[in-house]
């Protein structure tokens, strides 16, 4: 079939006669043209900024791609030149732009980063894992040796316990990336921690294992053997390929459901101990100062949490009508079983639909069709996990934990839509 003959060419020509150039730069006009044909897309209002504008001018692409031979196959693919991640980065962290993602997998290149003294450059041939302390036989492993053990994979989220920490005392982040961007989901592959510990042989008095990274901060955490999940892995791969450097290449711990800093990256040492080592990262950091002056310590499991990713802070509803409210929920205790959404600040709730796949220890997508009337609205989501735990309000959280906390904030997030359709971070 010749291109000239086929109906798309004709349809495009008939439209193009009046508005060709304008259509490319003004999507609203295009939408009106489209609506004028008598059809509708569920009556959904256009939402600016849900998807980023192109970073390369459309005019640099062929008007008719069928008339231009395309580019050749590549050895390692890259994004379209028309897409750019709206990713926030400082020296020691990069956030995951949750408002731009689809599905539950986070691309490895956009997995959040958090490190205390930079990403070390580690040649895998030089890397060693030492297993020592209260063991029958101290051992040292190369990465190649660890890869020969039986392999295991699992999909799991990792969340920094500092995620949403700045939201504890009033709304701070202007986008969902800023409020919730320290969580990501990947498929992780490695050898079971239990397999490696079995090789060395654990002495009866060993109750804790110290995990140490080989970054310049030598990040070190004590992990209670009685609590550590049996599917804890020493990982060398993420989303099919070797770990990314910022995710601990060539070796990291993955403790499914536990706070990110316990999943020690660039792992070089496991020391079996009778008691916790009380390192900096489990005393002055990553503990929660309670109202009575004591500290919650070794609170590894991440509580159930959810957030609406669209509409979310910084976005703009164009006009009243139907919108699909979309978001993510996750829990360190297994599977998400239920998500409710409120559009009136928590007065009334509606059950959202959970989008497949719903997997344990993974981000889970939810969605709800909502008709925006054009009036002010407060959007919230509240999730429940398979243990029956229900995500709390910030008020409930503060009633127990007071105002000195920073880590482990899993409170319900509120987004306010004003009459102009602008969306802002608020606390009610």
Q: Which residues in the 38-97 window bind a copy of itself by CB under 8 A?
A: 38-42, 44, 46-47, 50-51, 54, 56-63, 65-83, 85, 87, 89-94
* Choice between 237 and 397, CB closer to a copy of itself: 237
Contacting residues for 181 by C-beta, under 8 A, at least 6 apart: 88, 95, 96, 97, 98, 112, 163
Q: How far is CA 145 from CA 196, 229, 318, in A?
A: 11, 23, 57
Binding of a copy of itself at residue 126 (CB under 8 A)? Answer: yes
* Choice between 104 and 377, CB closer to a copy of itself: 104
Restricted to residues 147-176, the positions that interact with a copy of itself (CB under 8 A) are 147-155
Q: Which stretch binds a copy of itself (CB under 8 A): 130-138, 171-179, 254-262, 420-428?
A: 130-138
* Choice between 3 and 404, CB closer to a copy of itself: 3
| Three-state secondary structure of 22-68 | HHHHCHHHHHHHHHCCCCCCCCECCEECCCCCCCCCHHHCCCCHHHC
* Choice between 360 and 392, CB closer to a copy of itself: 360
Among 275, 284, 347, 356, binds a copy of itself (CB under 8 A): 356
Among 99, 141, 209, 255, binds a copy of itself (CB under 8 A): 141
E strand or H helix at 267: strand 267-273
Binding of a copy of itself at residue 111 (CB under 8 A)? Answer: yes
* Residue 412 near residue 394 (C-beta atoms within 8 A): yes
Binding of a copy of itself at residue 200 (CB under 8 A)? Answer: yes
Binding of a copy of itself at residue 284 (CB under 8 A)? Answer: no
Shortest approach of a copy of itself to residue 424 CB, angstroms?
22
Is the backbone peptide bond immediately before 311 cis, with ω within 30 degrees of 0?
yes
Restricted to residues 288-347, the positions that interact with a copy of itself (CB under 8 A) are 323-324, 326
Ramachandran bin of 259, using left for φ above 0, alpha for ψ from -120 to 50, beta for the remaining angles:
beta
Among 188, 286, 370, 415, binds a copy of itself (CB under 8 A): 188
Structure tokens at 360: 């344990």
CA distance 118 to 218: 11
Three-class secondary structure of residue 353 per DSSP: strand
């Amino acid at each position: 079939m010749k291109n000239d003959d086929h109906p798309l060419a004709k349809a495009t020509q008939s439209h193009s006669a009046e508005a060709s150039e304008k259509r490319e730069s003004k999507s609203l006009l295009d939408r009106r043209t489209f609506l004028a044909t008598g059809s509708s897309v569920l009556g959904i209002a256009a939402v600016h900024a849900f998807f980023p504008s192109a970073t390369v001018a459309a005019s640099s692409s062929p008007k008719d791609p069928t008339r231009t031979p395309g580019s050749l196959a590549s050895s390692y693919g890259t994004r379209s030149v028309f897409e750019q991640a709206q990713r926030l980065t400082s020296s020691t962290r990069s956030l995951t732009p949750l408002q731009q993602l689809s599905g539950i997998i986070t691309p490895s290149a956009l997995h959040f980063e958090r490190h205390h003294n930079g990403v070390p450059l580690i040649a895998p041939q030089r890397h060693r894992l030492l297993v020592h302390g209260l063991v029958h036989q101290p051992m040292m492993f190369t990465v190649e040796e660890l890869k020969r053990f039986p392999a295991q994979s699992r999909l799991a989220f990792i969340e920094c316990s500092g995620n949403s920490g700045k939201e504890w005392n009033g709304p701070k982040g202007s986008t969902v990336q800023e409020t919730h961007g320290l969580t990501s989901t990947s498929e992780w592959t490695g050898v079971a921690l239990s397999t490696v510990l079995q090789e060395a042989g654990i002495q009866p008095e060993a109750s804790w294992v110290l995990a140490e990274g080989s970054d310049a901060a030598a990040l070190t955490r004590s992990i209670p053997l009685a609590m550590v999940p049996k599917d804890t892995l020493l990982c060398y791969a993420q989303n099919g390929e070797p770990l990314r450097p910022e995710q601990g290449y060539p070796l990291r711990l993955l403790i499914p459901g536990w706070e990110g800093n316990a999943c020690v990256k660039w792992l070089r040492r496991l020391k079996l101990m009778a008691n916790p080592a009380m390192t900096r990262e489990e005393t002055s950091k990553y503990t929660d100062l309670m109202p009575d002056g004591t500290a919650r310590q070794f609170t590894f499991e991440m509580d159930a949490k959810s957030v609406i990713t669209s509409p979310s802070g910084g976005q703009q509803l164009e006009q009243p009508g139907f919108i699909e409210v979309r978001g993510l929920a996750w829990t360190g205790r297994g599977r998400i079983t239920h998500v409710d959404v409120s559009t009136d600040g928590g007065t009334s709730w509606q059950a959202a639909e959970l989008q497949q796949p719903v997997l344990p220890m993974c981000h889970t997508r939810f969605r709800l069709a909502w008709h925006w009337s054009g009036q002010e609205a407060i959007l919230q989501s509240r999730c429940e996990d398979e243990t029956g735990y229900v995500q709390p309000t910030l008020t409930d959280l503060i009633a127990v934990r007071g105002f000195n906390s920073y880590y482990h904030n899993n409170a319900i997030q509120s987004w306010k839509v004003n009459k102009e359709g602008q969306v802002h971070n608020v606390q009610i």
